[in-house]
Amino acid sequence: MKIIADENIPCVQQAFASLGEVSLLPGRGLQAEQVRDADILLVRSVTRVDAALLEGSSVRFVGSATIGFDHVDRDYLQQQQIGFATAPGSNATSAAEYVVSALMVLSEQQGFELAGKTVGIIGCGNVGSRVRQKLSALGMQCQVNDPPLQAGGGHDDFVSLDEVLQADIVTVHVPLTRDGRYPTFHLVNGAFLERLQPGAIFINTSRGSVADNRALEALLASRDDVSVVLDVWEGEPSISTSLLQQVDLGTPHIAGYSYDGKLRGTEMIYRAASEYFSQPVCWQVADVLQRAATMDMRSRETGNDLAVVRAIVLCAYDVRQDDARLRAMLSLPAAERASAFDRLRKDYPVRREFTEATVQLDEPAGAIGELLSGLGFAVE
């Protein structure tokens, strides 16, 4: 079989070698003539998959190594009897760790403690549930708003959007949808933002168009008490540079870009394709990944417990490095910034998850060990 794959899907050639010949191409500019004689198409969120791309092609299966699917016309695929799979939850841990890192940075910069702060989590699926678990482990009070999950029953601790907007921190983890009972396109609009509390922190790691970026610019122009963390932007890769200069932390859509998460995404769509074509599974992430290096923090712990945990978290992943890389784009001519945004994603450095790191502490680890374990670190 002939397989066309986004060049940014890690290990895709190794994984899919048992199914056919893999050709790598840039995902953003993929054209119909490039996929016409392909049997399998493998993409990420930057490729729009619809009739314009696939009409008249021999594609029988589409895999998207992402958790979202707003870039795919699923109705068209179903009509054409083309198989489809995504990678739900593959980068959920990574995205949750991004939120933890961002809050650690802001708490240090602004001089507040995370314990006792209230967090409004909008969307409690794969990512939101992990955010809730990690922030609860830090002693934060989490409130969840998720109307689709609430409508499905099984939980009794959901709160209204009004209640969520009373929180000290509001973080959004929803898919981008424009139709249906609960559309999320511009869910975060001017009226939403006006209700943020004094000194609030707003974080968006979901999709750029979940938040009206013009409304965010207006908010930040009129209020200097609100902090904003954006990993996703409207119009990617041609993002608003004026908004970038206003936010506290801005990154190039990499919250879920841990190496572990990306490889899980590859494995999930590979397994789905193998099952679709009734072929044996010959590759798995465990063949590639090794545990991350051990962090020896013995005799280094100074300060209160949360300060020590902050130092360890930022040693594992410091969001400020990604913020600095994106802001460096501002020095480029305007015509070069979009391609620079994409390069930051394509050439993203290897980043391992907390769950793959072991932290060595002096005995007894005590509260610090419990906090680290709650965030996913292995503690010795």
Catalytic residues: 207, 236, 253
| Tokens 């005995």, located at residue | 363
- Alpha-carbon gap, residue 57 to 46, rounded angstroms: 20
CB-hemisphere CA count at 13 Å for 142?
22
Q: Which of 177, 172, 191, 192 is nearest to 232 (CA)?
A: 172
- Alpha-carbon gap, residue 138 to 119, rounded angstroms: 11
CB-hemisphere CA count at 13 Å for 55?
4
